[in-house]
Each structure stands twice: as structure tokens, then as C-alpha cells.
Amino acid sequence: MSDDLCSLTLSEAAEAIKTKYVTSVKLTKACLSRIESLDSNIKSIAAIDPDKALASAHEADKALANGDAEGLLHGVPLAHKDMFYRAGRISGCGSKIRANFVPDKTGSVLERFDRSGALDIARLNMVEFALGVTGHNKVMPTPRNPWNTDYITGGSSSGSGAAVSSRLIFGAMGSDTGGSIRFPSCCNGITGLKPTSGRVSRFGTMPLSASLDTLGPMARTAKDTAIMLQAIAGHDARDPTSSRLAVPNYLSNLGRGIKGLRIAIPENYFYDPVAPEIADIVGESLKVFRSGGAEIVPVVVPDSIALTNPLTSMIAGTEGASIHQKWLQQRPNDYGTQTKARLNKGPLIPATRYLQAKSMRAPVLKEFCKAVFDKADVLHCPVMVSAVPSICETDFSAAPGFSNLITAMGHCTRPFNFMGLPSLTIPCGFTSNGLPTAFQIVGKPFDESTLFRAGHAYQKLTDWHEQAPNI
């Protein structure tokens, strides 16, 4: 019975509690039981307090009984990447350096989830300081891909991807600076949203790159991620970079279907290094969109898009090094080799190059939007250029082409961090090694609603998102 409950999607779990088909306590016990039996192999959980989780669930059930439950996620067990601060609770950030760090503030995202009635039952493992695309962590546990534990989860929201895919929890938050929500969503066969820059407050979270960091939901379906974004989106006075634009009702468009929706397919750049089997699988998803009435529109993206991957790396490296400068000087041996090597490149980048990179964002965005969104409503492209690689193949110390691997993995994701555009990752099949793969749908600034609409329509016509690892 507990596994049956854990197989519910987030939206189904929320509805089951609301209608009193099941209690929050029962759902939480199911999650705790599954975590206890499975996570020793998956290693997605950084820390969990079962007694506190159950106490919170009892409070949620009591509130519902008293008529005090109004939130979208009332009583639903969630868990989040270990970089979201909660006052009085350790936030280790996947590191030795912050292994005992206890913040005195709670981040806006967690506060808003609290107001929605969601439970926060665990901290999830992550790449050290969120600086890594594969999921490796040399100083803390490295989560394993539940489809095959010899393969990477993708990073840096590695524990979030593995936990949601394993049906340990119903949804999780991740962060995305160069692809760190989209990689683990793709590798683990789940749905993940990188929102528009500024759509979600970053107050009370570990920073990596002030110009690029975004926070977004990871769950099983487009509808689930829409519900999560609904709970957390909006301006926050404590984060001056958060947008003041009104938050739409993300659920109102889900049932509209996609008849007449214009989907752009890039004829250049995005598919240049993509492996044939990835191109074939992602291409098959277009047939589904066509069958739903969408119009496929070929587009040529501007040549400037080729600059966005290295420019994103430059900005993140410079800003990350400035945050870590003191620790790099005082505690260099407490960093993992990969993290330290990447952070040490930041100080070598001239300030003029960094400022030039930032100054290019607005014109590149304008040029891209004109080329794509004057002709179409969304852009469709791969997330990863190849099948999910193994842990051994992507180990920093063992793989001589590690820097080339990082560049290749960011080929299709980093452009949208550089431009700040929203992107929704949708699972669409499996490669020859048995691991999931996915496409991403990219939208205009602050047009997450159209992404949810397209993703939901695709998932109504397919069942890739329903596939679960046999663990």
C-alpha cells in the first residue's frame, strides 16, 4: 500500500489529502518507509528527522479537520536541495565547509511552501556548492541514478532528481545556473522547470552566481511543476532582483491543448553535436506535438548563440570565485578537487572580459527573441547532447577530457541561463543504455504558462513521465 501511495503524482497526492481519501500522516509514513528501504543505494537524502516529519503531518491533518487548510500543497511531503535555508536547521550545501552551518533565516521559497501547507521532510544531497553538472561530489555522498546506479544523476540538483525519480518524495526544489535542474531531470526521467530569471526569489539560498542563479521545481509532471511554481513565484522585497510582474494562474491554461501552438525547431547550433540516437528520440516527440495540432516552425537562431556557453561559464566562474575567495585562501583542502579547480579559474578572468560578457546579455537576448519568438510561441530542443554517461566516465580525476565534457553538456542548456529564459524539461524516451533522455521547451520571458500548457499536452498523449525505475 505504501508503494501505491508513493506512486501518486504531486497533484494526485494533494487532491487525495484535500478530499480526505488519505491523510498527510499516511502519505508521510509511506515516504519515510520508502526512504528507509531504498535510499541506502540511491543516496539522495542528506538528512531527515522522521519524528519531526510525522509531527508536521499530524499538524497538517489537524488543520484540515478544523477547516484551516487552504494551500495548494497542504500536507504533501516535499524535500529540497540542501542549499535552501531554514532557520535553526543545518544547510550543508553539499560541502565540508558548511557541514555545520545553521542559518538564522528561512528562505523565501521555503516560507512560501510553508504557507501552501507543504511539508519539508528532508534535506537532499547535491554537488558541492552546486558547482558541477555530472552529480559527482568528492566530499559528501554522490547520489546514484535509480535507473542504474553505475550512471550519473546529473547535477548539481542530483539528490532532487534521484529522490523524485525514486518516488521517495512528491516534488523537490533545485537550482539552475547552467543546467542544474534540467540535467538531473533529463538523467532521471522527471519533469523540471528552470524559470525566467527573477520569477522566483533567491532570498535565503546559497549563492553561486548572482547573475545566473535560478530556483525551480522538479516533479513528475508538468502539472506538478506548475503547482509548485504557483506556490513560490512572485516578487520578494528581500530579493531586489525578483520581478514585480504579476504571477498568472499557471493551472488555468493546462487544459487548452496545443492546437495552433507554434513550436520552433532550430536548424543550427542546438543539434550540431547531438548524438544520432538523441536526435531521433527528441525528433519523435515532435510527431506527438503535430498529432495534437501544433505547428512546427523551422528557425535559424542567431550566430551569437554560440558565444553563450563559454560566456555563461565565464560569468559563473568569476562570480563563484568572488563568493569563495576567503574560503579558498583559508580552507583550500576542504574543497573537492573538481570544485576547487573550477573556482580557481575565476580569479584569472580579467574584469574587462567579465563586464563585456555581462554587457552582451541584453543584445543577445533581443536578437534571439526576434529570430525565434517573432515566428513561434516556444522553442523545442534537446537537453543533453548524448546518452547519460556512467559515473566512471565522468570522474574528474579519471576522465582526461573532463573540461570538454562540461562544455558539451552545457551546449543546449547554458544559452538559456545566459539569456534568462524559462525552460521546461520533459522526459521523452530511453537511449540504448536504458537511461532516460528528454527535450526542453523554451519560452519567452515570464511565459512559463505556455511551457506548462505544451508540456501537459505532451504528457496527456504519452506515458514517458509515468515510467519508474525498478528499485
Residue 48: count other Cβ atoms within 10 Å of its Cβ: 18
- The burial of 264, by beta-carbon neighbours within 10 Å (0-12 exposed, 13-18 middle, 19 or more buried), is given as buried
Given the residues 26, 29, 81, 223, the one annotated as active site = 81
- Helix count and strand count (H, E) for the chain: 16, 11
> What would you report as the CA-atom Rg of the chain, rounded to the nearest whole angstrom?
21
What is the DSSP track for 329-358? HH-GGGS-HHHHHHHTTGGGS-HHHHHHHH
Given the residues 91, 157, 158, 180, the one annotated as active site = 180
CA distance 104 to 122: 18
Amino acid at 187: C
The answer to whether residue 156 is catalytic is yes
The SS3 assignment for 352 reads helix
Altogether, the residues listed in the chain come to a count of: 471
The answer to whether residue 180 is catalytic is yes
C-alpha cell at 20: 480526505
Given the residues 156, 157, 175, 242, the one annotated as active site = 156
C-alpha cell at 238: 528581500
If phi > 0 it is left, if psi is from -120 to 50 it is alpha, else beta; for residue 93 that is: left
Active site members: 81, 156, 180
